[in-house]
A and B are shown apart, each in its own frame.
Chain A
């Protein structure tokens, strides 16, 4: 972690390192080394599966675990019901997977496994390559559903209902641009929120280390307040982890509503 003596590089945590298979190639030049990022994706996938599988007892009177899983599926079901309506039910598997994958990825990045020597937490949602792929998947679903359901009539999405004819020529390009910006805003929002929180925590951590190294007076003046702030921001980050996963799922369901119901 420490690049030089008493220094913490706040960006080091985002470095991707191949763990094994660094010579694996899907095709010529397309490297698919199993990296630390891939490892945490795998851990996320396994934990999500274990969590949901724990709710598969299918009892009429649910236990605690089943209740927790059912409240999560019910949460996503209600979200889609509220935003898309009855037709939203068929998107529950995708939105649920999306929400749980992002939520678990965000939260796992906050687990202080760094306390174990040579183990480093990695938040794959702080990489725009990852959030970008997730956003493109959501956007593709919107496009596919929109064109399959409405055909070329889907383009009327760019003309809000009740627009006077002369205004159409101004509003349609604006609507088109705002539509095309959606995948970028979706991807960047999650990436920036996760990266900013982790950078802030590492910067404060470097204050704690530098303060502690600077003697008892400096440690009490800088190190202790920084540490208290770190604890508070860690709590905030847990909240952000949940909110960003929710926002991603919510916006995806809102975009799907456009494709499903068109205005």
Chain B
């Protein structure tokens, strides 16, 4: 095995060149380049995180804006609905008042007319009674030859009419 056979003659050379080249790589690559590369990665990660945070903030703001707009819109709609209801109520009240007034006028005329009818009926009835009493006196005078008082005839007529 050359690793053991040559150890006495090559150990110093092996150790020296390894330390030299490993040390060079460590200083140049490990200390010189790796921190910069990791810095680039960190920078990129930070930028991505920042961009994501900004996007999230913008989204939140948009959500807030939308919520506010929705609230405003709902308020406007409610106000419009109120206005419509108000107008409706007013119109209904006005029409019902007009109706009541008209009804009152009609009722008054009906009452008036009914009174007229009743008066006419009464006067007609009175005339019929007078005519009937006169007729009854005439009949009695012709048949019985008796002359009766108009008041008696009238009372008799009234009694008959009252019985139907």
Residue in A33, A48, A58 whose CB lies within 8 Å of B36: A58
Given A16-B6, A94-B26: A127 and B14 within 8 A (CB)?
yes
Q: Which residues of B contact A128 (CB under 8 A)?
A: 3
Q: Which residues of A contact B2 (CB under 8 A)?
A: 11-12, 14-16
Q: Which residues of A contact B12 (CB under 8 A)?
A: 26, 30-32
Alpha-carbon distance between A80 and B35 when the two chains are bound, in angstroms: 14
Nearest chain A CB to B84 CB, angstrom units: 59
Nearest chain A CB to B47 CB, angstrom units: 7
Residue in A55, A101, A127, A130 whose CB lies within 8 Å of B37: A55
Query: How many A residues face the partner with a CB closer than 8 A?
Result: 52
Segment 109-160 of A: residues with Cβ below 8 Å from B: 124, 126-130, 133-134, 137
Residue in B11, B16, B26, B37 whose CB lies within 8 Å of A70: B37
Instruction: Name the segment of B17-25, B66-74, B136-144 touching the other chain.
Output: B17-25
Judge if B50 is at the interface, Cβ distance under 8 Å: no
Q: Which residues of B contact A32 (CB under 8 A)?
A: 12-13, 16-17
Q: Which residues of A contact B41 (CB under 8 A)?
A: 70, 73-74
Residue in B17, B30, B31, B43 whose CB lies within 8 Å of A38: B17
Judge if B15 is at the interface, Cβ distance under 8 Å: yes
Nearest chain B CB to A127 CB, angstrom units: 5
Judge if A234 is at the interface, Cβ distance under 8 Å: no
Given A33-B13, A41-B18, A101-B25: A73 and B37 within 8 A (CB)?
yes
Q: List 8 tightest A-B contacts by C-beta distance, closest first.
A: A93-B30, A38-B17, A97-B30, A45-B21, A129-B14, A41-B21, A14-B2, A32-B16
Q: Which residues of chain B have a CB within 8 Å of any CB of chain A?
A: 1-3, 6-7, 9-19, 21-22, 24-26, 28-31, 33-38, 40-41, 43-44, 47
Q: Which residues of chain A have a CB within 8 Å of any CB of chain B?
A: 11-12, 14-16, 18, 26, 30-35, 37-38, 41-42, 44-45, 48-49, 52-53, 55-56, 58-60, 62, 69-70, 73-74, 77, 92-94, 96-97, 100-101, 124, 126-130, 133-134, 137, 191, 195
